Chains A and B, each alone.
Chain A
C-alpha cells in the first residue's frame, strides 16, 4: 500500500497528464462493453426500452449455446476465415512478389492494386450478386454463350457454390491488403543475405523458402491478424449477396447477429451471441500474435 502511494506520488504529474486519455478510453470503450454485456443478461428488445431492466439471468446464453443454427454459423465462419485468409495470403504473396520485380511503372501498379479496397463492401456485394445471378448474371451468360453449359448454374443458391461466391467477393476486395503489407516487407528486406545465398549457389526457390519467406512472416502475421478480425465480422458483402441464405446456407455469425439485433430487435440475445462470437476473434488474434512472436524470434536468430 505504501509502495503504491509512493508510486502515485512520484508519478503524480505523468498520471495527471494521462488521466483524461484514460477517462475517455474508459467512457468510449469500457462503458459500452459493460452495457452490452449487461444487456446480454436481459430480455432487452429495441422496441421495448423498458425491457432493458428485465433481468433473465443466463437464459440468452443457454439458448445461444443450445442453438444448433448458431453453432452451424459459428463453424461456417471459422471455415470462411480459414479459406479466405489462406487464399488471400497466397494471392497477396504472389501479387507482391510480381509487383516487386517490376522495374518500370511500379507505383502505378501499386495504386491499381489498391483499387478493390477503395470500393464500399456493399457495392462489391451488389457487383458480385449481379455477376453470379443465375438468369441475368454475366458469369452464367458467358458460360452459356461459350457452350460450356446449357444449365443456369445457381451460384448463389447451391450450398458450396454460394459459399465460394461470397469468399470470391471477399478475396477480390481484400487481397491487396496482404499484397501491400507483404510488399512493404519486401521493400524493407536487406539485400545482403539474398546476395550471399546466391553466391553460395542457392536456387531461387531456396532463397525464397529460407530467406525471403522467414523475413516476410512477421508482415504476413500482422496482415493475418488484421484480416482475421475483419473477416470474423464479415457482414456487408454476405448480406447483399445472399443475406445469409438461402435457408441459412451462407449464414455467418454477423449476418445472424445483425438480424437478431435489428430486424428482430432482440438486442439482449444478439449481444449474448456477440460475446460468444468474440471468443473466435480472441482465439485468432492470440494465435497469430503467438506466430508473430515466434517469427520475430526466428528473425532475431537469423
Chain B
C-alpha cells in the first residue's frame, strides 16, 4: 500500500511537472541539439528523467556527451580547457570548483532573467558568484549536520553512565567538545565506534576547514598567503587527531569517503555521523539497520561559538563557446525550476530556491513524514545561518591536495599537528606563488 501511495504520488508529481513545463515558456529551439556534460550518480540522475519534458516544450534535443562522477568530470573538463575542445553548451558545475573553469564559463547575469535569479536563496547565489559574475545556477546545496542513533541517546543506562563519566547530561551535542566526549563514550571497538570522518581527499580538507572556521581561524590571509598554520588550526586538527588516537573512530577512517561513511552509519556502526542531507531518507528507511531510529541536530559549535557549515552547491553553467546561449539558459532555467527542485527535494536534496523549502516542508507535513520535516528544518536553518564555502578561488583543489596528506599524517601520528600544518602551509605558499597570487 505504501509502495502504491509512493508511486501514485511520484506519478502525480511527474504529471504536475509535465504540465508546468508546458505551461512555462522555455522558448522554441526547434531542431536544435543542445550538447551537455552532466554529473552522474544515483542522487543526480532522477532529475535527468525530466529532460524529455524540456525537449517536448522547446522542440530541441539534448545530447548528453558525458555522465560521470564529479572527479572524473573535473578531469575531463580540465582536458577540454587544455585542448580548447569545448564543443558543448552546458556542464555540471559546483560552486566551490567553479572558479577553476573560469576560462570556459559564460557569466549568467545577462542570460538568466533577473526575476528568476531573485527566486533563489541570496546566500546560495552569492556562493555561485565569482568576482561580480554569476558563474552557475545552483541546482541543490550541500551542508552537513548531525545524524545520531536515537535509542543510544535515550537509553537510561547510557544516560546515567555518561553523566557519571563526564558530569553533564547525555544529549545530542551542541559543541564539538561534547561530540568528542560522546564519540569516546559510545566507542567499543571493533564492534562499534563513536563516529567516523571523511579521511582523505577533499573530504578531510573540508572537515578540517569547517572546524578551523568554528575554532575562529581562517584558511587564507587577505594577501592569499596561508593562514591555517595558527593556534586555531592546531586546535581544529587536534580534534581529529584526538578522535583517532583515542580509538573513537575506526582505524580505516583515513581511507573513508562519503559512501563509506553513509553506509557505515546505516549499518549501525557508529553513534553519530556528520553527514549530508541527501542520506536522510536512506538512513531512516527500511534498507538501513537503524531505520526509524535516527535523530538529527544542527552541526555543533567550535570554541569560537561558530557552528561548522562547510557548504557548496551543485550547479549548472553555460560555456563561452556555446552556439546557442539562449537555449542553454532555457535548459538551466528548466533544470533548476521550482518543479524540478521539488522533484529533487522529495528525495532529500536541499533546494536552492527559497519557495521550494517552504513547499517541500508543507508536502512532508501533509504526508505526516515528521522525520523529513525535521531534516529540512535543521538543514534549512543551517543553510540560512551557518553555511559557508571555501575561498572561491581556482586553487581550492590544489590547496586541498596540499593539505590532506599532511592532515592524515597528523591523524595517524606520523607528525604533530604543528609540523603537519607547517609543511602544508609551505606547500600552499608554493601553490599560491605558482598561481601568481604571491
Q: When chains A and B are docked, how far (Å) is the Cα of A47 from the Cα of B82?
A: 6
- Contacts A47-B101, A47-B394 given; indicate if A267 touches B82 (C-beta within 8 A): yes
Query: Are A47 and B269 in contact, with the CB atoms below 8 A?
Result: no
Are B103 and A246 touching (Cβ within 8 A)?
no
- Residues of chain A from 116 to 137 with CB closer than 8 A to chain B in the complex: 129, 133-136
Q: Across the interface, which residues of A come within 8 angstroms of B404, CB to CB?
A: 245
Chain B: number of interface residues, binned into ranges: 35 or more
Say whether B79 faces chain A, with CB atoms less than 8 Å apart: yes
Q: Is A279 an interface residue (CB 8 A)?
A: no
- Asked whether B200 is an interface residue with its Cβ less than 8 Å from the other chain, the reply is yes
Do A245 and B78 touch (CB < 8 A)? no
Compute how far the CA of A144 lies from the CA of B100 in the bound complex, rounded to whole angstroms. 47
Q: How many residues of A contact B (CB 8 A)?
A: 35
Q: Is A259 an interface residue (CB 8 A)?
A: yes
B9 at the A/B interface (Cβ < 8 Å)? no
Give the interface segment out of B88-96, B289-297, B407-415: B407-415
Pick from A45, A150, A247: contact of B405, CB below 8 A.
Answer: A247
Indicate if A49 sits at the interface (CB-CB under 8 A). yes
- Check if B175 is an interface residue, CB within 8 A of chain A: no
Binary interface profile of B, 365-405, with partner A (CB < 8 Å = 1, else 0)? 00000000000000000000000000000100110010011
Closest Cβ–Cβ distance, residue B352 to chain A (whole Å): 25
The answer to whether A242 touches B78, judged by C-beta atoms less than 8 angstroms apart, is no
Cross-chain contact A266 with B409 (CB below 8 angstroms): no
The answer, yes or no, to whether B267 is at the interface (CB within 8 Å) is yes
Asked if A214 is at the interface of the complex by the 8 Å CB criterion, the answer is no
Contact between A134 and B251 (Cβ–Cβ < 8 Å)?
yes
Assess whether B81 is interfacial by the CB under 8 Å rule: yes
**Given A245-B200, A248-B409, A264-B398, A135-B252 contact (CB < 8 Å):** yes
- In the complex, the answer to whether A152 meets B250 with C-beta atoms within 8 Å is yes
A148 to chain B: closest CB distance in Å?
13
Let me know if B100 and A243 touch, CB within 8 A: no
A156 at the A/B interface (Cβ < 8 Å)? yes
Q: How far is the CB of B8 from chain A (nearest CB, A)?
A: 37
CB pair B254–A246 under 8 Å, yes or no, is yes
Question: Does A229 have its Cβ within 8 Å of any Cβ on chain B?
Answer: no
| Residues of A29-61 contacting chain B, CB below 8 A | 43, 45-49
A248 near B405 with CB under 8 A, answer: yes
Write the chain A residue with the least CB distance to B405. A248
Number of A-B contacts (CB under 8 A): 105
B401 CB contact (under 8 Å) in A48, A134, A140, A263:
A263
B275 interface residue per 8 A CB criterion:
no
Assess whether B250 is in contact with A243, with CB atoms less than 8 Å apart. Answer: no
Q: Which one of B75, B103, B193, B409 contacts A262 once the chains associate, using CB atoms below 8 Å?
A: B75
In the bound complex, residues from chain A placing their C-beta under 8 Å from that of B397 are: 263-265
CB distance from A244 to the nearest CB of B (A): 8
Q: Mark A229-245, 1 if CB is under 8 A from B, else 0.
A: 00000000000001111
A47–B401 CB distance below 8 A: no
How far apart sit A129 and B259, CA to CA, in the bound complex (Å)?
13
Instruction: Say yes or no for A194: interface residue by CB 8 A criterion.
Output: no
Q: With the chains together, A48 CA to B103 CA distance in Å?
A: 8
Q: Could you say which residues of chain B place their CB within 8 Å of the CB of A157? A: 251-252, 254-255, 412
Name A97-154 residues within 8 Å CB distance of B: 129, 133-136, 140, 144, 150-152, 154
Question: Complex formed: what's the CA distance from A213 to B96 in Å?
Answer: 59
Report the separation of the CA atoms of residues A249 and B78 in the bound assembly, to the nearest whole angstrom.
28
- Interface flags for B76-111 (1: CB within 8 Å of A; 0: not) read 001101101000000000000000110100000000
16 A-B contacts, Cβ less than 8 Å apart? A46-B82, A47-B394, A49-B81, A136-B267, A140-B190, A144-B190, A154-B251, A157-B412, A245-B200, A246-B199, A247-B408, A247-B409, A248-B408, A263-B398, A264-B431, A266-B434
9 closest A-B pairs by CB: A152-B190, A134-B252, A154-B251, A246-B254, A247-B409, A247-B408, A46-B78, A246-B408, A46-B82
